[in-house]
């Protein structure tokens, strides 16, 4: 097996031998990936030992350096950097039973219940007591033993993640066990749930796996309000019920991010770069966008009203949705960056649609969209394309019209907003000196108005900027006081 000759694995074996470890096996995902021909991509290793892992971890940490992280009494993680592959994660654990065979039978899924010996244990043949190799060929995710989900409810979510990684399916006999174990997710630490969920939303064909989460009862545990999405029927202009609309939104947004040049040739590189960027930790922009696409209308069931004439409204669903998603962000232990991203996206997701419906969209209105929505504005615009497509379908002129509007908005950002972001030569200190005021939020408001003037007007000399401040300051101060309720 190629993986056994990898420089990192060979070094791990040598260190364990020097430390006097008599028997050690490489187990789990690394073996699975090697059998799939992905051994060169492996950066996570799991090593199982018949005895306590303390001596082995101490020796490995002395050789590789890095950080030692105890996971539980039986497992310790070593995170280190290596010249081959960069960042690595090595988990060392003692057997879950008397022998390696017993250990493998008590693992989560058959495709992860395979091992190859590093030290002792005979020739480097794959140990496979639960039939994982056959399931891997079928891309089947099957539980290794009946109590797998009772023993660790996170495995219910991991089953979907693993099926998504394999682009396969969950075995029919495993699905009812997942449904039975789903309520146990409430007891699992938010960080563990977050990591599995973000990997699912970072996989391919996210709409399919979102439906799988829903069908297995997992989504309802993670987001209790999601169940009511099935009960909202279509209403004009929506051609589909809320749940179908939301999954269609996910599917088309993923298509946009996978092939942005098909719709936004000029911005394609930036869209790809933004999608792959990290918001925090290992959470990518793409994962959060697709999660938001699924849940962007989560506030609609609770705000749905029907007028006497039959007109359906969802007034305030953005604010209601933001509250629900704030609870989810807390449950998942999202940091400030990811939580703020989710909140901004949810609160602003209707703004492009409202703006596009105006008879005339002025340059000032375009600028204020970017000013108000802030750094998530390009993502809000991209999502709105998928949102409208999922609302009216691909054969409705309204979708093509909105696509054109978003292209125009991105062009305005590219040609007008970004070039002049640093065009104003006046600082906050300059403003205070010109109009004779002290530090405070009013100074920031004046600078906002100057940036807006730079976007909308001709290039000015410094003297003209100073004259503009003197001339407009009384009006700007009045506007600021009205905005602040003073």
User: Does residue 398 share a domain with residue 442?
Assistant: no
Number of domains in the chain: 4
Would 185 be classed as within a structural domain?
A: yes
User: Does residue 132 share a domain with residue 144?
Assistant: no
Would 227 be classed as within a structural domain?
A: no
Cα–Cα distance measured from residue 295 to residue 100, given in angstroms and rounded to the nearest whole number: 43
Residues in the chain: 486
For the CA atoms of the chain, what is the radius of gyration? 28
pLDDT digits (tens, 9 = 90+) for 391-409: 998 888 999 999 999 999 9
pLDDT digits (tens, 9 = 90+) for 57-74: 999 999 999 899 988 888
Percentages (nearest 5) of helix, strand, coil residues in the chain: 60, 10, 30
User: Does residue 215 share a domain with residue 102?
Assistant: no
Name the band, by pLDDT with cuts 50, 70 and 90, for residue 382: very high
User: Does residue 118 share a domain with residue 177?
Assistant: no
User: Does residue 165 share a domain with residue 89?
Assistant: no
**Res. 204: pLDDT tops 90:** yes
pLDDT digits (tens, 9 = 90+) for 242-273: 999 999 999 999 999 999 999 999 999 999 99
User: Does residue 441 share a domain with residue 293?
Assistant: no
Cα–Cα distance measured from residue 135 to residue 138, given in angstroms and rounded to the nearest whole number: 5
Please provide the distance, in angstroms rounded to a whole number, between the alpha carbons at the two ends of the chain: 73
User: Does residue 416 share a domain with residue 286?
Assistant: yes
- In this prediction the pTM is 0.85
Q: Whole domain around residue 257: which residue ranges?
A: 240-420
User: Does residue 115 share a domain with residue 43?
Assistant: yes
Tell me, what CATH number does 164's domain have? 1.10.110.30
Maximal CA-CA distance, the chain: 87
User: Would you give the distance in Å from CA 147 to the centre of its chain?
Assistant: 30
The candidate with the shortest Cα–Cα distance to 445, out of 475, 415, 412, 467, is: 475
Tell me, what CATH number does 366's domain have? 1.10.3210
Cα–Cα distance measured from residue 71 to residue 343, given in angstroms and rounded to the nearest whole number: 32
Would 164 be classed as within a structural domain?
A: yes
Cα–Cα distance measured from residue 9 to residue 44, given in angstroms and rounded to the nearest whole number: 11
Name the band, by pLDDT with cuts 50, 70 and 90, for residue 347: very high
User: Does residue 147 share a domain with residue 128?
Assistant: no
Name the band, by pLDDT with cuts 50, 70 and 90, for residue 47: very high
Burial string for 2-24 (b: 16+ CB within 10 Å, else e) reads: ebeebebbeebbebbeebebebb
Spell out the residues 6+ positions from residue 161 whose beta carbon is closer than 8 angstroms to its own: 196, 199, 200, 203
Which residue blocks in 332-461 are alpha helix, DSSP H?
A: 336-348, 351-356, 363-373, 377-392, 397-412, 428-435, 441-456
User: Does residue 283 share a domain with residue 411?
Assistant: yes
Q: Determine phi and psi for 66, rounding to 5 degrees.
A: 85, -165
Would 231 be classed as within a structural domain?
A: no
User: Does residue 362 share a domain with residue 281?
Assistant: yes
At residue 50, the pLDDT reads 92
**Res. 1: pLDDT tops 60:** no
Boundary residue ending a domain (166, 193, 222): 222
Would 401 be classed as within a structural domain?
A: yes
User: Does residue 393 share a domain with residue 258?
Assistant: yes
**Res. 81: pLDDT tops 80:** yes
Boundary residue ending a domain (123, 138, 153): 138
Cα–Cα distance measured from residue 101 to residue 107, given in angstroms and rounded to the nearest whole number: 10
Dig out the tokens for 79 from the structure.
């995170």
Boundary residue ending a domain (420, 438, 468): 420
Indicate the helix (H) or strand (E) that contains 168. none
For tokens 């799939």, name the residue.
Answer: 36
Name the band, by pLDDT with cuts 50, 70 and 90, for residue 422: low
At residue 486, the pLDDT reads 58
The candidate with the shortest Cα–Cα distance to 75, out of 113, 106, 114, 46, is: 46
């Amino acid at each position: 097996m190629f993986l056994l000759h990898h420089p990192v694995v060979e070094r791990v074996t040598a260190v364990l031998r020097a430390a006097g470890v008599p028997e050690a096996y490489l187990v789990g995902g690394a073996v699975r990936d090697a059998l799939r021909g992905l051994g060169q991509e492996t950066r996570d290793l799991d090593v199982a030992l018949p005895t306590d892992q303390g001596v082995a971890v101490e020796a490995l940490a002395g050789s590789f350096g890095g950080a030692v992280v105890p996971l539980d009494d039986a497992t310790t993680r070593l995170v280190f950097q290596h010249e081959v592959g960069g960042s690595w994660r090595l988990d060392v654990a003692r057997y879950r039973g008397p022998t390696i065979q017993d250990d493998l039978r008590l693992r989560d899924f058959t495709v992860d219940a395979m091992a190859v010996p590093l030290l002792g244990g005979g020739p480097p043949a794959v140990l496979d007591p639960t039939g994982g190799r056959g399931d891997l060929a079928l891309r089947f995710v099957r539980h290794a033993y009946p109590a797998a989900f009772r023993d660790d409810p996170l495995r219910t979510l991991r089953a979907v993640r693993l099926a998504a990684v394999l682009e396969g399916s969950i075995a029919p006999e495993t699905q009812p066990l997942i449904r039975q174990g789903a309520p146990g997710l409430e007891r699992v630490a938010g960080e563990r749930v977050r990591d599995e969920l973000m990997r699912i939303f970072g996989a391919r064909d996210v709409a399919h796996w979102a439906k799988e989460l829903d069908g297995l009862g997992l989504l309802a545990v993670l987001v209790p309000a999601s169940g009511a999405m099935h009960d909202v029927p279509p209403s004009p202009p929506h051609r589909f019920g809320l749940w179908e609309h939301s999954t269609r939104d996910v599917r088309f947004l993923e298509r946009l991010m996978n092939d942005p040049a098909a719709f936004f040739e000029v911005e394609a590189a930036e869209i790809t770069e933004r999608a792959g960027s990290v918001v925090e930790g290992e959470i990518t922009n793409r994962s959060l966008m697709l999660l938001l696409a699924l849940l962007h209308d989560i506030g609609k069931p609770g705000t749905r009203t029907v007028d006497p004439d039959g007109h359906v409204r969802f007034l305030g669903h953005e604010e209601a949705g933001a509250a629900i998603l704030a609870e989810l962000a807390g449950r998942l232990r999202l940091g400030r960056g990811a939580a703020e991203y989710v909140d901004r996206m949810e609160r602003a997701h209707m703004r492009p649609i409202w703006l596009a419906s105006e008879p005339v969209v002025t340059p000032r209105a375009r600028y204020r969209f970017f000013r108000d929505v802030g750094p998530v504005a390009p993502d809000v615009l991209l999502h709105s394309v998928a949102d409208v497509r999922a609302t009216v379908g691909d054969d409705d002129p309204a979708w093509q019209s909105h696509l054109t509007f978003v292209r125009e908005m991105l062009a305005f950002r590219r040609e007008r907003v970004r070039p002049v972001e640093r065009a104003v030569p006046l600082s906050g200190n300059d403003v205070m000196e010109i109009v004779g005021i002290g530090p405070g939020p009013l100074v920031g408001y004046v600078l906002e108005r100057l940036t807006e003037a730079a976007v909308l007007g001709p290039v000015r000399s410094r003297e003209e900027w100073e004259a503009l401040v003197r001339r407009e300051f009384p009006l700007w101060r009045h506007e600021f006081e009205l905005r602040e309720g003073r």
